[in-house]
């Protein structure tokens, strides 16, 4: 039989045989914990170190209109684009534009609003900076 990743072999006595299956792949030790890259958050941290994180809070009023400008916090993101324009301002404008572009009746679907804002903010950062940060959006009514 052909040996594959995860096969546990018995080499002696006698001929080599596959005895069992065991977990395989990369295992990480992170602090006091041991696990896969996904379980340890390694992939997300790699993305964060490359392109940063943006958190956006959008508040909608009773008529599903913006109650004010969205709050935005950017960590590990460039301050300005190549022309010196504030990247935070560009991303806030993108968030406002995303909400305004959704018909009011469809804004009742807060998940739709959340995803539209996430994509718009990420796209604005990519257009101005050339990188796509992780974006977390909170929509409150």
Model pLDDT for residues 42-86, shown as the tens digit of each residue: 988 999 999 999 999 999 999 999 999 999 999 999 999 999 999
Residue 81 lies in a domain: yes
SS3 breakdown of the chain: % helix, strand, coil, rounded to 5? 40, 25, 35
Do 74 and 25 fall into the same domain?
no
Q: Which pLDDT band holds residue 18 (cuts at 50, 70, 90)?
A: very high
Do 85 and 112 fall into the same domain?
yes
Residue 45 lies in a domain: no
Measure the CA–CA gap between 115 and 137, rounded to whole angstroms: 8
Mean pLDDT in residue range 83-100: 97
Determine which helix (DSSP H) or strand (DSSP E) holds 136, and give its type and residue range. strand 134-140
Q: Per residue in 117-127, pLDDT tens?
A: 999 999 999 99
Question: pLDDT value at position 1?
Answer: 67
Q: Which pLDDT band holds residue 23 (cuts at 50, 70, 90)?
A: confident
Write out the residue range of the structural domain in which residue 117 sits: 50-140
Record the tokens describing residue 96, joined without a space. 């406002």
Number of domains forming the structure of the chain: 2
Strand partners, 55: 73, 136
């Amino acid at each position: 039989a052909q040996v594959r990743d995860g096969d546990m072999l018995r080499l002696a006595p006698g001929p080599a045989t596959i005895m069992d299956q065991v977990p395989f792949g990369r295992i990480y030790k992170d602090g006091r914990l041991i696990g896969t890259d996904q379980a340890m958050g390694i992939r997300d941290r790699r993305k964060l170190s490359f392109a940063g994180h943006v958190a956006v809070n959008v508040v909608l009023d009773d008529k599903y209109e913006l109650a004010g400008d969205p709050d935005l916090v950017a960590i590990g993101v460039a301050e300005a684009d190549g022309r010196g324009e504030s990247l935070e301002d560009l991303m806030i404008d993108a968030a406002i534009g995303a909400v305004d572009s959704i018909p009011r009746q469809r804004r009742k679907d807060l998940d739709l609003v959340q995803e539209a804002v996430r994509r718009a903010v990420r796209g604005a950062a990519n257009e101005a900076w050339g990188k796509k940060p992780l974006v977390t959006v909170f929509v409150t009514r």
